[in-house]
Structure 1
Amino acid sequence: MKKELEIFSTRYSCRNFKNEKLKKEDLNSILEITRLSPSSLGLEPWKFIVMQDEKRKEELSKICNQQKHVKDCAALIIIISRLDFLDYFEEKLRKRDMSETEIQKRLDAYMPFLKSLNQEQKISYAREQAHIALASILYSANALNIASCTIGGFDKEKLDSYLSLNIQKERSSLVVALGYCNDEKNPQKNRFSFDEVVKFI
């Protein structure tokens, strides 16, 4: 188990995976941490499809532009963005420990915004949240010495069809490959310096 800053400083995109399965408890830990990710308005507009079957990984690699690491990894997590959050927002809100007055206050504040979104805006809004869940996957995996690679370059329409998604209610957003890396050493981290990206005002 890695600690603190090391989890963030050593993580990189691996495209060379060993032929080795993940421990079930490690994969479940990654998924549980991801499930607990924060989201805008607490909507949690996501679902996660886990793929470990060799044939399915082979099929998915074709949808992902023949990327080799998609079929070679131990497991794939597909982040599905939910678009039906308007249907469950009030119910979810009422499960919180708050007064009826506070619930109505939040409904009055947020429902007009949610109702104003057209389909494309819903997709964009939900996919923005998917990247929060993505970060949870990447860094929780690295904490367990499991390598990862984010795949955004795929045919979303084909993947939606392959997964038989109801595209009025959900869309595929991101694919994450997980496994044990076969690289001899981690590549050098290349990031802008602290002063280049941080400004105090």
Structure 2
Amino acid sequence: MENKKREILNVHRYRVACKEFDSNKKIPKEDIDFLLEVGRLSPSSFGFEPWKFIVIQDDKLKEDLISLTLDCEKQISTSSHLVMMLARKGSDIIYSSDYITYIMKDVKNIPEDEISERREDYRVFQRENFKLLNDKEAMFQWSIKQTYIPLGNMITAAAEIGISSCPIENFHREKLEKLLEDNGILDSSKFGVSCLVTFGYKKDKVYIEKARRPIGEVVEWIK
């Protein structure tokens, strides 16, 4: 058990956002499928999975996408795989939507007599607890926060099997979403772009332990 703990901590100590990958090395299909499955199995608030993962392999689309980012050319152009995290918008994740019904009824197989109760719990959460209803942007931002759970799981799992990664937020969302719509990839009435993440094998092979604040500054115990 102690050996396993040390292994896990070492992965976290040395995992960094990779700025340039070895463009000659490609991730095997079974490994990228593994990372996508890790993302799929990730938890979400209420278990409603308000996300979709788009794997972009088209070189022309990558070039167009690079032009909409700032200082991210190497991360994207040298990567083996580029994954785009999409977040569902309010029309899909409001408590009364067909999507929420589908998740409860067809995915989770919740009995009919329990669906109304669960929907009401979700309505109270949206209306009273987090005050998301009637605010489309707040609903979308809530979905975006959910996508960072599979993102974190995927980049950690990647590091554990020797694959580097780089999450990317530095892009023009409106222009990127238009590009995706023009290419028939995105329905902007249902989804928006949350973030991008590139995967591959680090080019320079140099790993430096992270600098972080001491644990006493990060954690406070209330007894």
TM-score, length-scaled by structure 2: 0.82
2:204 counterpart of 1:193: no
2:66 touches 2:76 (CA, 8 Å); kept in 1?
yes
What's the offset of the Cα at 1:175? 0.5
The more displaced of 171-180 and 97-106 is 97-106
1:33 touches 1:140 (CA, 8 Å); kept in 2?
yes
Q: Which position in structure 2 is the counterpart of 1:127?
A: 144
2:17 touches 2:164 (CA, 8 Å); kept in 1?
yes
Describe how 1:63-142 pairs up with structure 2 within 5 A.
63-68=68-73, 69-83=75-89, 84-86=92-94, 87=97, 88-95=99-106, 96=108, 98-114=110-126, 116-142=133-159
Distance between the aligned counterparts of 1:54 and 1:41, measured in 2? 37
Distance between the aligned counterparts of 2:85 and 2:188, measured in 1? 14
SS at match of 2:37: helix
1:7 touches 1:143 (CA, 8 Å); kept in 2?
yes
Q: Which position in structure 1 is the counterpart of 2:194?
A: 173
Q: Which position in structure 1 is the counterpart of 2:67?
A: 62
The more displaced of 79-88 and 154-163 is 79-88
- Unaligned 5+ segments in structure 1 are none
Deviations 1:17-75 (A, max 9, x none): 10121111100000000011111111111001111233322221111125222112111
1:60 touches 1:71 (CA, 8 Å); kept in 2?
no
SS at match of 1:18: coil
SS at match of 1:63: coil
- Unaligned 5+ segments in structure 2 are 1-5, 128-132
- CA RMSD in angstroms comes to 1.9
Deviations 1:103-126 (A, max 9, x none): 322112213544724211111111
The more displaced of 11-20 and 58-67 is 58-67
Share of identical aligned residues, percent? 34
Partner residue of 1:41 out of 23, 46, 70: 46
Q: Which amino acid aligns with 1:74?
A: S
What's the offset of the Cα at 1:196? 1.2
2:105 touches 2:111 (CA, 8 Å); kept in 1?
no
What's the offset of the Cα at 1:4? 2.6
Change in 2 beyond 3 A, CA 1:188/1:8: closer
Q: Which amino acid aligns with 1:104?
A: S
2:161 counterpart of 1:144: yes
Distance between the aligned counterparts of 2:50 and 2:172, measured in 1? 21
Distance between the aligned counterparts of 1:38 and 1:117, measured in 2? 26
Distance between the aligned counterparts of 1:153 and 1:85, measured in 2? 26
Aligned length: 200
SS at match of 2:154: helix
